[in-house]
A and B are shown apart, each in its own frame.
Chain A
Amino acid sequence: MARPMGPLRLKKTSPLTVVVGVALCIFILYFLIGSSAPDFSPSRKAAAASHPLSPPTSPFRKSSASGGKKPKPPPVTHYNLNNVTITPNPIENRENVLILTPMARFYQGYWDNLLKLSYPHELITLGFILPKNKEGNAATTELQKQITKTQKYSLEKDRFKSIIILRQDFEPPLSSQDEGERHKMQNQKARRSAMAKARNSLLFTTLGPATSWVLWLDGDIIETPPTLIQDLAMHDKPLITPNCFQRFYNPQKKAMDERPYDFNNWVDSPQAKELASKMGPDDILLEGYADMATYRLLMAKVFDEKSDRHEEIPLDGVGGTALLVKADVHRDGAMFPPFPFYHLIETEGFAKMARRLGWQATGLPNYKVYHYNE
């Protein structure tokens, strides 16, 4: 105590301490007054719904905990669907895109690719449906972790307009998601029927009154051009799908190579029609199985490296790996039949149903997206 306190205090008020102190103060104040997450800009806030009971394609105002007051009943909301445009210039017209993904496993590549999409994220709503089993739970956890990271802690321009996660209300028919097991012919009908139900559940509960385009993107698509949405919308087609490929290591060439993956994009053939006419009402035609030769023209095989990337071909059946659909097609009722519809099921049946409603599917054989390789 013999020593005076003066010099000691002088030592503590060094500029570094001041800076650290101020920073801490701001930090504490921020956490006291502010929220745990950085907030949205006023324009995004203004566009949000005022009540939690609202279309899931838009964010809503969290009820501020204002002391025990009863929540007000939801307002009467008008939606004029005559004003929802669907045009070849979706960005210019600020058109909302709904990206729907039935997901069984979470791939980081899928999420990273999604973040890279150059379409304005404040116009993109994501919808996921995951099965309620062990694998689904794991995927959900992974997905939620990534969502939190993006929606709470990243820059506002990276954050999506809104995200919907659904859990399926029925058991997936197969316990194994392994590629070999999944593609066995006898398992196909049950598997694709369940898949169709999952797609429909996701679609009809999330479509809402503001969506212009629906992009079906499978959870195992890990690489697309960042301009995917604009590129596909540019064609102004009711249903349009790129060609789905898969990268793999080719042991013969001793180098990375790629091969066609999605065989559900096809043009019908007389042989397939004849096969179908001989079938019972509950049988389905499948593509890519040796004992059912359909001789359909497969888009996967049409790919030509030298041709124009935006070359179009009309299709009779589509696969769902990546598929851009005008929302009107779904609103008219085109869905993924979980039952044999003209001997077709799921996405192929969807193309047929859309056709019955007067909408024609189109394929881009030279525009590639890539599937995960397991």
Chain B
Amino acid sequence: MLPFTSSSGSKAVPRHHVSGYSNGYPRGNTFEISPHRFQPRGTTPALRRRKRLLVRLGIAVATVTLFGLFVWPRSSIFSLFSFSLLSTGDDFQLETVRYYDLSNVQGTARGWEREERILLCVPLRDAEPHLPMFFSHLRNFTYPHHLIDLAFLVSDSKDRTLEVLTNNLEAIQADEDDTKPYGEISIIEKDFGQKVNQDVESRHGFEAQASRRKLMAQARNWLLSAALRPSHSWVYWRDVDVETAPFTILEDLMRHNKDVIVPNVWRPLPDWLGGEQPYDLNSWQESETALALADTLDEDAVIVEGYAEYATWRPHLAYLRDPYGDPDMEMEIDGVGGVSILAKAKVFRHGVHFPAFSFEKHAETEGFGKMARRMQFSVVGLPHYTIWHMYEPSVDDIKHMEAMEQERLAREQEERDKAEKAKKLKESFGDATSQWEKDKSEMHNIVSQDKKTGSGDVAPKEKANAEPAQPAPGKAAADQAAVEKPIANKPSAENPAAKKLAEKEKVEASAKFVQKETKKEDRKI
């Protein structure tokens, strides 16, 4: 704005203009009421313009934000303001990143002191009747419960396994006692379309074994892959139908500090079958015979232990048990049984699993042992540390038990009849007897010196009295027949018939026992 071009009409007039007052104010509008309007010293027109621009920008940003709220109501801008300010009642944050150092979860001999986490895996199928027993074990584990994560796989179950399981677990987690609740609990449902029945007979038939074992392996792998976490140091596999096991079993096995370790598994039997029996025949040491046999089989064949079809001559962990042996004694093995396996989690992390195909002619737990050995992990069994599997009678056993029961009932009936007969005889001839006694004494008096006649007639009566007392020893003999000890001497001397019966029982039972030894078919393989 140059002063010379401006006319008198202009408001901004240079100070020293002729038309201005001497104090420098313009003369233009004389009737201006307030010529001394305050002008802030700091604000130049440029500054004012900048300010206006900023305000406009602010308004624009606000409008865009508001518009954005309408268009993307769930965008992060929205949550940025509204969530933290308005919904403070809903006060949790999401953590999306997890960091784990696997060298901290290697597994050591004294895991409970180092707070090492164990994953307890239990595969289940139609297991409702066994669950109460299993939970009694679960409640009593001495390993700190909060360090144990539980994982169950419920597959192809038609009974109430799932409901019973859930109820029991929820009860444990809600327990007042702080030491009772467990860590993470996962119940995994998956149906594989089981082709094989679960009853004892079909479960242990030879033909069904290979495909059954592969299905079992598949189930185990699904369970493990869904439940294993980077925080686990150990994995413990446990069957639900273990009847007796020490509560300290986790610590007992862990103390050995082996990569894979199993105890010996036996089962109790009814007395007439011998009282006890090795159960898990899948824990064994490899033999030359078996290796040679493996070479002759085709790629998909699976060697299963305990069947006459495959004579492997392997040393089994189960048969090496000495009830008085050192429970800490270790034995290197190649195949393992799945009833109770403690393994370091790193074994599974590095890829060992339960082959659902024929791996070196083995599947499932035996294949697991083989694969662990292949990857240079230590696989160990404890021959003298025994846990007890439940006894489920096989179909043969049930038949035999029924026969025994009938025999027992028949015998009891017979004895009852006999006793009744004797009683009747006694009753009907009661008067006669007393009369006879009287007569006898009289006769004694009369024929004073003749003794031989009396002894001959008394015998039948004594026998009749003895009869009711007989069933007890006879039954005991039958029950004890199969025990290695010879039959008790008590009953036989008096009664040849009872002795004969007991002997027949014994022969039958021991024949049964021999059959079991050779076939071993009712065992879990």
Could you tell me which A residues sit within 8 Å of B by CB distance? 7, 11, 14-16, 19, 26, 29-30, 33-35, 37-41, 44-45, 48, 51-56, 59-64, 70, 73-82, 132, 147-148, 151, 154-156, 159-169, 196-197, 200-201, 203-209, 330-333, 335-339, 353, 356-357
Compute how far the CA of A276 lies from the CA of B227 in the bound complex, rounded to whole angstroms.
Answer: 37
Among the listed A33, A165, A339, A353, which residue makes an inter-chain contact with B98, where contact means beta carbons less than 8 Å apart? Answer: A165
Let me know if A75 and B185 touch, CB within 8 A: yes
Let me know if B79 and A38 touch, CB within 8 A: yes
Q: Which residue of A lies closest to B358 (CB)?
A: A356
Let me know if B100 and A165 touch, CB within 8 A: yes
Let me know if B79 and A39 touch, CB within 8 A: yes
Let me know if B98 and A163 touch, CB within 8 A: yes
Let me know if A331 and B221 touch, CB within 8 A: yes
Let me know if B76 and A76 touch, CB within 8 A: no
Compute how far the CA of A30 lies from the CA of B173 in the bound complex, rounded to whole angstroms.
Answer: 38
Q: Which residue of A lies closest to B359 (CB)?
A: A356
Q: Which residue of B lies closest to A357 (CB)?
A: B357
Let me know if B185 and A74 touch, CB within 8 A: yes
Determine the chain A residues whose CB is within 8 A of the CB of B84 once the complex forms: 30, 33-35, 39
Compute how far the CA of A33 lies from the CA of B80 in the bound complex, rounded to whole angstroms.
Answer: 11
Could you tell me which B residues sit within 8 Å of A by CB distance? 38, 40, 42, 51, 54-55, 58, 74-76, 79-81, 83-85, 88, 90-103, 105-106, 146, 149, 166, 169-170, 173, 178, 181-191, 217-218, 221-222, 224-230, 232, 346, 348-351, 353-358, 374-375
Compute how far the CA of A45 lies from the CA of B84 in the bound complex, rounded to whole angstroms.
Answer: 14
Compute how far the CA of A164 lies from the CA of B101 in the bound complex, rounded to whole angstroms.
Answer: 11
Question: Chain A nearest CB: distance from B358 CB in Å?
Answer: 8
Determine the chain B residues whose CB is within 8 A of the CB of A159 once the complex forms: 96
Among the listed A53, A59, A209, A353, which residue makes an inter-chain contact with B96, where contact means beta carbons less than 8 Å apart? Answer: A59
Compute how far the CA of A356 lies from the CA of B360 in the bound complex, rounded to whole angstroms.
Answer: 12
Let me know if B79 and A54 touch, CB within 8 A: no
Q: Which residue of A lies closest to B50 (CB)?
A: A16
Question: Chain A nearest CB: distance from B81 CB in Å?
Answer: 7
Question: Chain A nearest CB: distance from B5 CB in Å?
Answer: 35
Determine the chain A residues whose CB is within 8 A of the CB of B103 once the complex forms: 132, 167-169
Question: Chain B nearest CB: distance from A123 CB in Å?
Answer: 13
Question: Chain A nearest CB: distance from B297 CB in Å?
Answer: 15
A–B Cβ pairs within 8 angstroms, 20 of them? A7-B38, A14-B51, A34-B80, A37-B93, A52-B95, A60-B94, A62-B92, A64-B91, A74-B184, A74-B185, A81-B188, A155-B75, A162-B97, A163-B97, A164-B100, A169-B103, A209-B226, A333-B218, A337-B351, A339-B374
Q: Which residue of B lies closest to A54 (CB)?
A: B184
Compute how far the CA of A15 lies from the CA of B56 in the bound complex, rounded to whole angstroms.
Answer: 11
Let me know if B351 and A335 touch, CB within 8 A: yes
Let me know if B221 and A332 touch, CB within 8 A: yes
Determine the chain B residues whose CB is within 8 A of the CB of A30 once the complex forms: 80-81, 84-85
Let me know if B74 and A41 touch, CB within 8 A: yes
Known: A34-B84, A333-B356. Is A77-B97 also a contact (CB below 8 A)?
no
Question: Chain B nearest CB: distance from A117 CB in Å?
Answer: 17
Compute how far the CA of A327 lies from the CA of B378 in the bound complex, rounded to whole angstroms.
Answer: 30
Let me know if A201 and B98 touch, CB within 8 A: no
Let me know if B354 and A333 touch, CB within 8 A: yes
Let me know if B173 and A75 touch, CB within 8 A: yes
User: Which 9 residue pairs spanning A and B have beta carbons closest together?
Assistant: A34-B84, A73-B181, A200-B351, A169-B102, A53-B184, A81-B190, A333-B221, A209-B226, A356-B357
Q: Which residue of A51, A53, A154 has the most chain B CB atoms within 10 A of its CB atom?
A: A53
Compute how far the CA of A15 lies from the CA of B55 in the bound complex, rounded to whole angstroms.
Answer: 7
Q: Which residue of B lies closest to A32 (CB)?
A: B84
Let me know if B97 and A151 touch, CB within 8 A: yes
Let me know if A166 and B182 touch, CB within 8 A: no
Among the listed A7, A39, A156, A333, which residue makes an inter-chain contact with B93, where contact means beta carbons less than 8 Å apart? Answer: A39
Determine the chain B residues whose CB is within 8 A of the CB of A37 once the complex forms: 93
With contacts A74-B183, A77-B186, A207-B225 known, what are 12 further pairs, Cβ within 8 A? A51-B184, A52-B95, A73-B146, A73-B173, A75-B185, A77-B184, A155-B76, A161-B96, A205-B102, A208-B226, A330-B225, A332-B356
Let me know if A331 and B101 touch, CB within 8 A: no
Question: Chain B nearest CB: distance from A294 CB in Å?
Answer: 21
